[in-house]
Structure 1
Amino acid sequence: MRKILVVGAGQSGLQLALGLQAKGYEITLMSNRTADEIRTGRVMSTQVMFDSALRHERDLALNFWERQAPRIEGLGFSVAAGDGSRPIDWLGRLKAYAQSVDQRVKMAGWLDVFVQRGGQLVVHGASVADLDFFSRTYDLVLVAAGKGELVSLFGRDAARSPYEAPQRTLAVSYVHGLEPRPEHPGTEAVRCNLVRGVGELFVMPTLTTSGRADVLFWEGVPGGPLDAFKGVREPGEHLALTLELMRTFTPWEYARAAQAELTDAGAVLAGRYPPVVRNPIGRLPGGGLVLGVADVVVANDPITSQGSNAAAKCAASYLSSILMHGDKPFDEAWMKATFDRFWFTTGKPVTQWTNAMLGGLPEHVRKLIGAAGRFQAVADRFANGYDQPADFDGYFYDAQDVEDYLAEVAGASVAE
């Protein structure tokens, strides 16, 4: 029986630990919090997960909340004008539903299951010195904790990391009482509201500790009017500021929020971090090697809702690579090949698309988003790109590709 240490109890760490546990590996999981501390703590993310990522959870029979969580059937875009109107407003239909489960619910539940199934849980914040010791007693050490001292083991890959500073400030509120969008009653959807030069407001349905809720998520350009949450300590003040910014920049969303109230005392989150790709292999002081997982080595801004999706896909990819490796040593060559497999199938297309959305959108992308309001096929393809980001390579990045694609869609529309 091979012994593997997984450090970090998030989407990737827990999914990977539970997957390996089910295959008979002896797994030790290090978490800096207990399940109860996670469950009663502060929200950690916004975590809309699309079908291909959800399938990895289903493959491991870990989709415990699928019947309770709202089924997200569409993804809509609105673009604000200076007068408070929205000249662009459309809804793309997803081929298969997406879902969001508050990570306090999911991670606490998965952590309980891991222990119930006989896994060894160590509740302790791991240090480099800890890993230096553990690397001598485990066949493989996987680092899935994306913050703190351990990240220093993985150097920044400058060639794959165009940004050195945060490109957005982040502010999240989980609320009850948000009214449905009147344009599409009965349809659960993620809504992306673009305010040029200011930032984005995302509104998304979720399942939280107290049932169905909605997430209000501002992404602000640093130094702009949305960069206003630093120093806000009280949850009520955080929500009030969120709503005031909605009133100013997205009044159609503010109109839904007359009865909005926080779901609980831990329902707000604010911060910022630079998107970065790191070298996947960490070398310990004693010479041992550790392999970085998910956002430890590929951390993207949440503007494209890819964090949990990429984490689930990374866990599934690493699980497959470990199982295929059999009883051979987990050496440096294997670690590199394992990361490269994830990078080229998932990490690279997600990073390329996310970095593009963070920059000022060029004219051809604005034209594409505008065309989605006229052609349902464009709206649907764009929405489903959140599930399969590699598809954007065929029609999104190059101006001529956009022209060719829209001409093709227009021609098909005339033919109908």
Structure 2
Amino acid sequence: MRQILIVGAGQSGLQLALGLQAQGYDVTLMSNRTADEIRHGRVMSTQVMFATALQHERDLDLAFWEPQAPRIEGLGVSVAGPDGSRAVDWVGRLDGFAQSVDQRVKMAGWMEAFAERGGRLVIHGAAVSDLDYFSRTYDLVLVAAGKGELVSMFERDAARSAFAEPQRALAVSYVHGLGPRPEHPELDAVRCNLVPGVGELFVMPTLTTGGRADILFWEGIPGGPLDVFQGVKDPGEHLALTLELMERYTPWEYARATRVELTDAGGTLAGRYAPTVRKPVGRLPGGGLVLGVADVVVANDPITGQGANSAAKCAASYLASIVEHGDRPFDEAWMQGAFDRYWETAQHVTKWTNAMLGVPPEHVLGLIGAGERHQAVADRFANGFDDPSDFEGYLYDPAATAAYLASVGAA
């Protein structure tokens, strides 16, 4: 039986561990926290999983919370005008529903399931020196811990990394008490509010440790008026600042947030990081090799909501590559090939995310505006969050955008 070590118990690490376990592999999972520490700790992300990523979980019988989590059936875009009104406002319908489950709930539950199914769970914050030893003990070592010392083993891929500095300052609040959008009170939808020159506010229904909730997520241009959360330690102060900025820049969202309260003391998060693509093979001091997983090797800004989706897709891709490889050695060529297979999907996410971090060109603004006049445009844009490769056909090239809009108008 082939022995595999996975370091990191997030979306990708746990999904891959459970998938390999189901295929009969001898899997060891290493986490720096217990399931209870995760469940009762601070929120870790703003995950919304779209249809393809959710299906990867269903394929492994891991959709434990699907009956309880809100069914997100739409994705809306609003653009703030100079006077504080909405210059653009529409909602696109998703072909397959999306869902968000607080990663404290999901990771803790999956970790317990892995142990109950006979998996070897080690609670230990791994260092490079640990992996040097383990690389001689296991047939394959995968690093799925996207922060800390271990990431330094993976060289930055300058040709694929457009930015050297963070492009947004991030601030998250999980809340109870958010009212429905009056325009579509019956529809659970992700709302993307764009404030030109300032940043973005995302509002997302979720399932958290205390039941149904919503996520308020500011992405601020560094140095701008939203970049004010550094050093804010008190959760109540964090929420008050979030609401103050909503009242100023997105009053239509603030109007339904006047009675919100934090879900719990761990319901806030702030930070920033530079979007980076890294080379997938890490070299250990003793000569061993490890393979990077998900945001260890492709870390995008969360502006397009792709982090958890990409992690699920990477885990599914790596699972297929491992199983198909049979009993052959997991050498450097195989590792590079496994990553290249995943990059066929991931490259579209990186291209789209990096484009959305810049100032939108005129043709993109026209496309977003057209979503208000043409439901087909709104729906297609919304479904691009599930399959970002579709943007290749109509988003990046002004002529392709014009041709698409002309075809929609003719239809």
Per the normalisation by structure 1, the TM-score is 0.99
| C-alpha distance in 1 between matches for 2:309 and 2:378 | 21
- 2:248 paired residue number: 248
| C-alpha distance in 1 between matches for 2:401 and 2:110 | 43
| C-alpha distance in 1 between matches for 2:161 and 2:49 | 24
Q: CA deviation at 1:388?
A: 0.3
The letter for the 2-side match of 1:44 is M
Q: CA deviation at 1:264?
A: 0.2
- 2:393 paired residue number: 394
Cα-to-partner distance string for 1:366-413 (whole Å, 9 max, x where unaligned)? 00000011000000000000000000000000000000000000000x
| C-alpha distance in 1 between matches for 2:230 and 2:185 | 36
Q: CA deviation at 1:45?
A: 0.2
SS at match of 1:215: strand
Q: Structure 1: give runs of 5+ residues left out of the alignment.
A: none
Q: CA deviation at 1:162?
A: 0.9
2:368 equivalent to 1:369: yes
Spell out the pairing of 1:138-287 with structure 2 (5 A cutoff).
138-287=138-287
Cα-to-partner distance string for 1:163-217 (whole Å, 9 max, x where unaligned)? 0000000000000000000000110000000000000000000000000000000
- 1:126 paired residue number: 126
- 1:312 paired residue number: 312
Structure 1 segments of 4+ aligned residues over 6 angstroms from their partners: none
Q: CA deviation at 1:351?
A: 0.1
SS at match of 1:45: coil
Q: CA deviation at 1:86?
A: 0.2
Q: CA deviation at 1:11?
A: 0.1
- 1:358 paired residue number: 357
Cα-to-partner distance string for 1:81-121 (whole Å, 9 max, x where unaligned)? 12110010000000010000000000000000000011111
| C-alpha distance in 1 between matches for 2:104 and 2:275 | 24
Aligned length: 411
The letter for the 2-side match of 1:399 is P
Cα-to-partner distance string for 1:52-86 (whole Å, 9 max, x where unaligned)? 00000000000000000000000000000121100
SS at match of 1:246: helix
| C-alpha distance in 1 between matches for 2:87 and 2:146 | 39
Q: Structure 2: give runs of 5+ residues left out of the alignment.
A: none
- 1:342 paired residue number: 342
SS at match of 2:203: strand
The percent identity for this pair of structures is 76
SS at match of 1:112: helix
The letter for the 1-side match of 2:293 is V
| C-alpha distance in 2 between matches for 1:82 and 1:265 | 35
Cα-to-partner distance string for 1:205-258 (whole Å, 9 max, x where unaligned)? 000000000000000000000000011010000000000000000000000011
2:48 equivalent to 1:64: no
SS at match of 1:91: strand
- 1:113 paired residue number: 113
RMSD of the alignment, in Å?
0.3
SS at match of 1:290: strand
| C-alpha distance in 1 between matches for 2:202 and 2:39 | 24
SS at match of 2:98: strand
The letter for the 1-side match of 2:328 is K
| C-alpha distance in 1 between matches for 2:150 and 2:111 | 21
Per the normalisation by structure 2, the TM-score is 1.00
| C-alpha distance in 1 between matches for 2:262 and 2:21 | 37
- 2:39 paired residue number: 39
Cα-to-partner distance string for 1:281-335 (whole Å, 9 max, x where unaligned)? 0010000000000000000000000000000000000000000000000000000
- 2:6 paired residue number: 6
| C-alpha distance in 1 between matches for 2:15 and 2:112 | 13
